Amino acid sequence: MRRFASLIETLDSTNKTNAKVAALTHYFKEAPPEDALWAVALLSHRRPSRPVSTTQMRVWAAELVQLPEWLFEETYHIVGDLAETIALLVQQEKKGNTPALSECIEEIIAVKSKDEAEKKTYILEQWKSLNTFERFVFNKILTGGFRIGVSQKLMTRALSEAIQIEENILAHRLMGQWSPQQTTFKQLLLEPNPEDQISQPYPFFLAHAMENDFENKFDVTNWHVEHKWDGMRAQLIVRKGSSFLWSRGEELITDKFPELACLATALPDGTVLDGELIPFKEGKIGDFNGLQKRIGRKMITVKLKEEVPVVLMLYDILEWEGKDIRALPLHQRQKYLSALYQQVKNDNLPLLLSQVMTFTSWVEVANERKKATEKRSEGLMLKHKDSPYGVGRKKGNWWKWKSDPKTIDAVLTYAMRGHGRRTNLYTDYTFGLWEKEELVTFAKAYSGLTDSEIKKVDQYVKKNTLDRFGPVRQVKPELVFEIAFEGLAPSSRHKSGVAVRFPRILRWRHDKKSDEANSLEDLKKLLP
């Protein structure tokens, strides 16, 4: 625990990638394998299930440090992180033997089945015997989510340096469902059993946003163009008569899409496909909101399945006849994919093939991009015809050329304190659009401003507060911002009647007064 806490502290206190990799590599080399495995698990968001609720933690902490609950809550809102708040409030009473990371987690797992009194005794005991940063890390293990700027890729790189196994092989071994409770460092990383691998997905290959001036840099005839379908990226695996569906976030989502189960027998064994899950009903692509409904539900009812049927729009083939063919050039993989699709397709099969287009000029490509809204895509994907299927987000072979975002001018109405590096600053904003004399909330956004703009808005918020609701302040509706978003759809869940996707602040409209901002009516005109 001490070693792991010190690793997290080091990772947390630098923003230099090399320093992070060095710290991780050092840890993986030095730590006992059972600790190293848990470190890998925690850093890839695999944590033991939560033994106590955050409410219990809040109440116990307030009681322990003898603070009224209201002050504890206010303090928590200012600090912005429960784990950190408790770490700072509680004082170390005695220095004991700090347990190893794996021991500590075993204790956490064991305490889950105990009664409340025993849980409380255990948690308080830990809080009192750890130092401030260890207490913070302990709380993070309890509540989940480290957010310390260590991506899966960075961790894999360090692990690769430590155990001298190639990065992409490790990336593969680390994917999927595993838990340190069921495996060991050696088993998972050093000697994987091929039998365990049938559900293992390949790492996704991701595209970068198109660079400027590409028309002059690239020869259009080298590029295969597809629409960037507006759904959820997924990987379908068919091996040994079973099918597995993985999301890009490495979640196994097979059970959420029962209509794809038939593919286990429809497709030959040893097939892995990359595609996009999209809502598709009566020959038409539906809107993204429907899909989100399906992802959000724990149980997929027959009704919901009928309301929002889903198909897999195929982009690529990664494994064919049991062989990893990611290294083959794209045009060849697309030939295999097309042949496979023609061979299996029928009207009842939930599969579509994303059309591959070639052009002779960039002007034609730009014209195709303009059809995105009509075709219900987010824009275009450009893939080099000879490109292999890579790992992660790499520049050069795959580009996304999204449609220009839609924008609207809205008024800042509420502000909330930020989290993480924006703690103690008002950085999370709510925006409204006019409906008659009233501002109706239409979106929340927090990204898009520079640090110096954030500072100015923060000062404005502090000086122009009309009302307070816990961490939220209602502000004088005077500041106007241009908000960009990817798409919009009617929604009964939003007060405005419209849901926008990925709203963010494009710029601060210093030139506009609040009565010059757009109306809700204006927004509704943008609905497809």
Partner 1 sequence: MPLLEFTSKGIYCKKAAVYLDPWRAVDKALISHGHSDHARWGSKHYITQEINVPILKHRLGAISVSSKKYGEVFSINGVRFSFHPAGHVPGSSQIKVEYKGEVWVFTGDYKTQPDGISTPFESVKCHTFITECTFGLPVFQWEEPKKVHQKINEWWADNRTNGTTSLLMGYSLGKIQRLLKHLDPSIGKIYTHGATEQMTQVLRSFIHFPETELITKDTSKKEIQGQLVLAPPAVLGSAWSKKLGPLSTGYASGWMAFRGARRRRAVDRAFVLSDHADWKGLLNAIKASGCEKVITTHGYTDLFAQYLREHGWDAATEKTQYEGETLETTLAE
Q: Which residues here bind partner 1, judged by CB under 8 A?
A: 12-15, 65, 67-68, 70-71, 74-75, 78-81, 84-85, 88-89, 91, 136, 418-424, 451, 455
**Closer CB to partner 1, 61 or 237, in the complex:** 61
Neighbours of 105 (CB within 10 A): 24
DSSP 8-state symbol, 130: S
**Phi then psi for 63, rounded to 5 degrees?**
-65, -45
**Closer CB to partner 1, 469 or 525, in the complex:** 469
**Closer CB to partner 1, 49 or 70, in the complex:** 70
Closest CA to 480 of 432, 442, 523, 526: 432
**Closer CB to partner 1, 142 or 443, in the complex:** 142
Kindly state the smallest distance separating residue 406's Cβ from partner 1, in Å: 31
Kindly state the smallest distance separating residue 108's Cβ from partner 1, in Å: 22
Kindly state the smallest distance separating residue 56's Cβ from partner 1, in Å: 20
What are the C-alpha distances in Å from 18 to residues 24, 154, 174, 466? 10, 10, 22, 46
Q: Which residues pair with 152 in a beta bridge?
A: none
Kindly state the smallest distance separating residue 22's Cβ from partner 1, in Å: 13
DSSP 8-state symbol, 414: E
**Closer CB to partner 1, 80 or 477, in the complex:** 80
Report angle CA 72, 75, 79 to the nearest 5 degrees: 135
Kindly state the smallest distance separating residue 267's Cβ from partner 1, in Å: 47
Kindly state the smallest distance separating residue 88's Cβ from partner 1, in Å: 4
State how far the Cα of 356 lies from the Cα of 227, in Å rounded to an integer.
8
- Asked if residue 77 lies in contact with residue 470, where contact means CB atoms within 8 angstroms, the answer is yes
Kindly state the smallest distance separating residue 57's Cβ from partner 1, in Å: 15
Mark residue 275 as left, alpha or beta (left: phi above 0; alpha: psi -120 to 50; beta: remaining): beta
Report the C-alpha dihedral over residues 366, 370, 371, 372, rounded to 10 degrees.
Answer: 100
Kindly state the smallest distance separating residue 15's Cβ from partner 1, in Å: 6
**Closer CB to partner 1, 68 or 283, in the complex:** 68
**Closer CB to partner 1, 78 or 339, in the complex:** 78
**Closer CB to partner 1, 462 or 495, in the complex:** 462
**Phi then psi for 240, rounded to 5 degrees?**
50, 45
**Closer CB to partner 1, 81 or 368, in the complex:** 81
Beta strands in 190-339 (DSSP E): 205-206, 208-209, 223-229, 232-239, 242-247, 271-281, 284-285, 310-320, 323-324
Residue 42: which residues within 8 A CB-CB, separation 6 or more?
141, 146
Kindly state the smallest distance separating residue 91's Cβ from partner 1, in Å: 7
Closest CA to 380 of 205, 214, 230: 230
